Amino acid sequence: MNFPHTKREEVIDEMFGIKIADPYRWLEDGSNPLVKEWTEAQNVYTDANIKGETFDIISDELVKNFNVTTFSNPTIRKGKYFYYERQPNEDHSVFYMKVGIDGVPIKLVDPNGMNAGNISSLDFCVPSRAGVYVAYGLQQGGNEMPTLYIKNVDTRENLDDVIPRCLGGVTWLPDDTGFFYKRYPAPGSVLKNEEHLHMKVYLHHLGDSPENDELIFGEGRPKDDMIMLKSSVDGRYLAISASQKWTENDIYIYEQETKKTTPFVVAISARFAVFFLKDKIIIRTNYKANNYRVLSMPIESMFAPIDEWKEIIPEQEHALVGVSPTKDKLLLEYLVNACSKVEIFDHTGERQGEISLPPYSTLNEISTYCEEKEFFYGVSSFTHTQTTYRYIPDEDIFVQYRKIENPIDPDDYVVKQEWYVSKDGTRIPLFIFHRKDIAPNIAHPTVLFGYGGFGIVKSPGFMRGFVPWMERGGIYALANIRGGGEFGENWHRAAMGEKKQNSFDDFIAASEYLIAQGYTSPEHLGILGGSNGGLLVSVVAVQRPELFGAVCSRVPLTDMVRFPLFGMALRWVHEYGDPKKEAELKNILTWSPYHNVKAGVEYPNFLFTTGENDNRVDPLHSRKMTALLQSVNKKNEILLFTEKDAGHGSGKPVKKMVESQALLLTFFAKKLGLKV
């Protein structure tokens, strides 16, 4: 293959007596002019191999499919309805408000056209308790370090308050005079590559300088803390969730009046999510319950030991993945074989009913507020775009509120859930989605998607970016492999650390099942994953190269020996293992894709995609893996596309979404034989 030239260096580390080669370490430094030059050469090579007539046809169709109005559920504050909406031909969603459900929409924050390249996007928008202000975060080019601004809802003017390096929104005080927020450290105040660690919680009063904000939590804490905040209805208490692991967290309670922080639930190997009601506090937890349960305690007694709390909703057969409180209800989302089911309870745990959802569907979004009875929820599936429903409390009815335009006819498609057996005998569910009028056969182009990590659930959802693939008769499959949270915490832990190989075995078994059942064959089977899923498809393609015709690995991890050294990745050692520990390093080396590529083996066609501003998974992983695979492949393509002014995926303008998706679909079409 005539790949762009990449120099190879003799770099060998020795860890616990093990010699580990790293011939492309020089590609780690994205600021190096030579690395920039190499990256540009790879982009040119990828364009030359993918772009052309097929790419143009698919791009035009994607532009048409994305040229629709999209929206979020409304959030209610004192009679005001706040929501996101993107109109056709807009690159980014805009934040709106209207007074009353039938009020006139008022545009509050519009990131479109803010700068050249349209790279500004909204990271978060949080209205204050009375709806007087909205705190919003703007990110640039996909960089997950948004700057926070405050806007007066009535005047539509920004206040002078500007806070850089904020994360994940704010928690407003009840009187709208300020808020709690999370902030990363100032550049230069911490070691290089630790700018996305050392998270701390502050209290900001409107009109004050951020330099004077009160430090609430984080001093002396582990640098890899992951923090979440939840305020009581009266604002007296702030619950602070802090964790370094993905399987457990501690809760602390900060009291406004005394400025005292008290341990609430600590040093228990389980997950706890706190919700404040007017007079009580409830907890969703997997403590002594793999599928989670709900506990309750009056606020005045909340510091009682956890075993003394009242269980108001016991563990059920299916995993409880979400609790959404309203003024008088608790809406609980369960997963039944990776599909959503919503049950309704009152605040005492008495069951009141169920929200009817279509088969094989997912609850995309549920918008409740603890001081409102009204709420909204959205549902989608492989065949149906999001439909949003509104609950009208005075009439005790659900009505369809809005629906996103559907570019396909659902009646033309079939969705099946089949089960297969993994290497160790575990049964795994597999969704298969295709047009009704096709007869799957061994020459049928098929894309298999997987994730399998961090307890994250992957459920059916509408895939606007795959419409050109599906309409031409392509097959799409989704494997709910271990490592995810589809069947409770045990499903997650079954593919963590020393057991990580289980998720790879599950995905390989899904591929073998599709082939054995006559849906496709290795030369027509492609695999797709992003982030942890990008790691997944990279690993299995290295372990079983003969099983796949094409691999698209988006924003992946690949060098699992050095991954904790960059950005926020230190937070993932509890999921994958810590390379600084001998036993865990040895396990990692058995599957780390960068360390298992062998000379003399022909690997499948690969397309790596990454973003130059990705501070979640550093682009170095894609660069190094691309270089290594290009050094051994003699026949199949190894391609890399690095998006400029883009990060891990959030904040992309539609034009960038279209380009990256058209590259993916064209790559799969060419390598797997889909006729365009």
> Catalytic residue positions?
531, 648
Q: Among 160, 177, 169, which residue's Cα sits nearest to residue 201? A: 169
Number of helices and strands in the chain (H, E): 10, 39
Q: What's the token pair of residue 642?
A: 């690095």
Is 668:676 a contact under the CB 8 Å cutoff? no
Residue type, 153: V
Question: 5: buried, middle or exposed (CB in 10 Å: 19+, 13-18, 0-12)?
Answer: exposed
- Could you tell me if residue 147 is left (phi over 0), alpha (psi between -120 and 50 degrees) or otherwise beta? beta
Strands of the sheet with 147-152, listed across from one edge: 120-127, 133-140, 147-152, 158-163
Helix (H) or strand (E) holding 98: strand 94-99
- What residues contact residue 179 under an 8 Å CB cut-off, 6+ apart? 126, 128, 135, 170, 171, 172, 173, 203, 204
Provide the β-strand partners of residue 335.
319, 340
Residue type, 46: T
Could you tell me how many residues make up the chain? 676
Q: At 480, is the secondary structure helix, strand, or coil? A: coil
Is 373:393 a contact under the CB 8 Å cutoff? yes
- Within 10 angstroms of residue 346's Cβ, the number of other Cβ atoms is 12
The dihedral through the CA atoms of 114, 118, 119, 123 has a sign that is positive
